[in-house]
C-alpha cells in the first residue's frame, strides 16, 4: 500500500510541471546554460551544516536543463525542482520516500530537507560545490563524481 502511495505521489509531482504557453519549451539563455553546466551531474556530499558525512554516504544529483534534483544521504530519497534566479540557486519543496531507518539517518534526512529550503546560492571551485544560504554560509559541501 505504501508503495502505491509513493508512486502516486511521484506521478502527481511529475504532472505538476509547467508547460510553456505556446507548447514549446522555453530556451534558456546562454548565461543560464553556462551556469547550468557547472551544476549538472552527480555530487558526493561531504558535509551538511558543518557535519562530516562518511565517504560515499551522500549523493546529490542535479539536472539544470530540467530543473530537477535528487538527494540521498543513506536513508530516504529527497527529490524535486530547483531554479537558478540571477546567479542564485533555489530548491522547491522536497518530496521524499518514506522508509523507516535508524533515528540518526532519519534526522539527517530532516536536516537535508532544511538545508535545501535554506539554499539561496552556490559556489563552485574546480571539483568542489558548496550550497550557501542567504548570508553566504555554506550549508552543504560536495565533490563532483
How far apart are alpha carbons 15 and 38 in whole angstroms?
A: 27
Give this prediction's pTM: 0.74
CATH code: domain of residue 61 = 2.40.128.270
User: Total domain count for the chain?
Assistant: 1
20 domain-assigned: no
124 domain-assigned: yes
143 domain-assigned: no
15-24 burial: b if 16+ Cβ within 10 Å, else e: eeeeeeeeee
How far apart are alpha carbons 17 and 120 in whole angstroms?
A: 21
Task: Determine which helix (DSSP H) or strand (DSSP E) holds 83, and give its type and residue range.
Answer: strand 77-83
Domain that holds residue 88: 34-130
Q: Between β-strands 90-91 and 77-83, what pairing exists: parallel, antiparallel or unpaired?
A: antiparallel
**From first to last of its 145 residues, what are the pLDDT tens digits of the chain?**
444 444 444 443 443 433 333 333 333 444 444 456 689 999 999 999 989 988 778 999 999 999 999 999 999 999 999 999 998 999 999 999 999 999 999 999 999 999 999 999 999 999 999 999 999 999 999 999 9
Position of cell 539544470?
64
112 domain-assigned: yes
Amino acid at each position: 500500500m505504501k508503495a502505491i502511495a509513493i508512486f502516486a505521489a511521484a506521478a502527481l509531482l511529475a504532472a505538476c510541471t509547467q508547460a510553456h504557453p505556446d507548447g514549446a519549451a522555453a530556451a534558456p539563455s546562454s548565461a543560464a546554460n553556462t551556469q547550468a553546466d557547472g551544476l549538472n551531474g552527480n555530487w558526493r556530499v561531504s558535509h551538511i551544516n558543518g557535519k562530516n558525512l562518511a565517504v560515499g554516504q551522500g549523493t546529490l544529483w542535479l539536472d539544470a536543463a530540467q530543473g530537477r534534483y535528487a538527494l540521498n544521504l543513506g536513508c530516504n530519497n529527497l527529490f524535486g525542482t530547483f531554479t537558478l534566479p540571477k546567479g542564485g540557486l533555489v530548491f522547491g519543496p522536497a518530496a521524499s520516500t518514506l522508509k523507516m531507518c535508524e533515528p540518526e539517518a532519519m534526522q539527517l534526512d530532516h536536516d537535508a530537507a532544511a538545508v535545501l529550503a535554506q539554499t539561496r546560492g552556490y559556489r563552485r571551485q574546480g571539483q568542489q560545490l558548496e550550497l550557501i544560504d542567504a548570508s553566504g554560509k555554506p550549508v552543504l559541501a560536495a565533490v563532483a563524481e
